[in-house]
Amino acid sequence: MFADRATISIRSGKGGDGHVSFRRELYVPNGGPDGGDGGRGGDVIFEVDKGLNTLSEFRHKRKYTAKDGQEGGKRRCHGSDGEDIILRVPEGTVIIETGTGKIVADMSGENHRQVVLKGGRGGKGNMHYATATMQVPKYAQAGQAARELEVRLELKVIADVGLVGFPNVGKSTFLSRVTNAKPKIANYHFTTITPNLGVVDLEGGGFVIADIPGLIEGASEGLGLGHEFLRHIERTRVIIHIVDADR
């Protein structure tokens, strides 16, 4: 199922707390502090997957969480870092903060991988707080809190050429003739309800054509498929407007 929008909640990992402990050995009854540092929390990373062309996977799962860092241990042991979570999205996906509408990341062009939420920093163990006047510190630093964000994912099809025009004027037929695409073709309005992509093969390369769902008057105000299709032509280098000569 094609899906070009999804809203999800993402959370980075909390930093592990520093540890409070003291060196205790048979012949060292009054050893100093040896509490280790907490581990770093995991990051939330978005990565482009060229094999994907839909956001449908994000319709089934809405919450994504990186792992928390582990608490530090005795004998200056450092807590393990939390595992990052990598979310793979199609090229052309825009990540938008739902509360403000701010674009957090645009996964297109050279931007194939981006850390969207950093994991929390691990806290320092009590071994760091020993001084000449405080030789037995009984406190450690807490790990940095996790960060959470609700984001909207929007896929904007990336194509060299976009085909636009009224419904049922022959855009899908044109695409099927000049590319390797096999779009659904029928004699009624809005046969195409999602963008179809086709590749034109040329010597030494080629280019991508997108068949955009039908344009109608008032589309810019949201009528018909409105904004659902208009955003898919934003990235095209060339727009071909197909007109029915009989109309």
Write the pLDDT tens digit of every residue in 130-176: 888 888 899 999 999 999 999 999 988 767 888 887 777 777 788 78
Average pLDDT over all residues of the chain: 83
When pLDDT is cut at 50, 70 and 90, the band that residue 226 belongs to is: very low
Beta-carbon contacts of 22 under 8 Å, excluding residues fewer than 6 positions away, are 31, 32, 33, 34, 35, 136
Task: Give the highest mean pLDDT range of 65-79, 126-140, 222-236.
Answer: 65-79
Spell out where 44-131 has E strands: 44-48, 63-65, 85-89, 93-97, 103-107, 113-117
Tell which residue, 86, 51, 58, has the closest CA to residue 154. Answer: 58
With a CB cutoff of 8 Å and minimum separation 6, the contacts of 119 are 12, 13, 14, 15, 40, 41, 42, 43, 66, 69, 81, 82, 84, 146
| pLDDT of residue 206 exceeding 70 | yes
Averaged pLDDT, 61-71: 96
User: What span, in angstroms and rounded, lies between the C-alpha atoms of 99 and 91?
Assistant: 24
Backbone angles phi, psi at 215, to 5 degrees: -90, 135
Residue 237 is predicted with a pLDDT of 82
pTM of the predicted protein model: 0.74
One DSSP character per residue, 14-51 reads PPPPP---B--BTTBTT--B-PPPPPPPPPEEEEE-TT
HSE toward the beta carbon, residue 126, CA cutoff 13 A: 20
Q: pLDDT at position 212, please?
A: 75
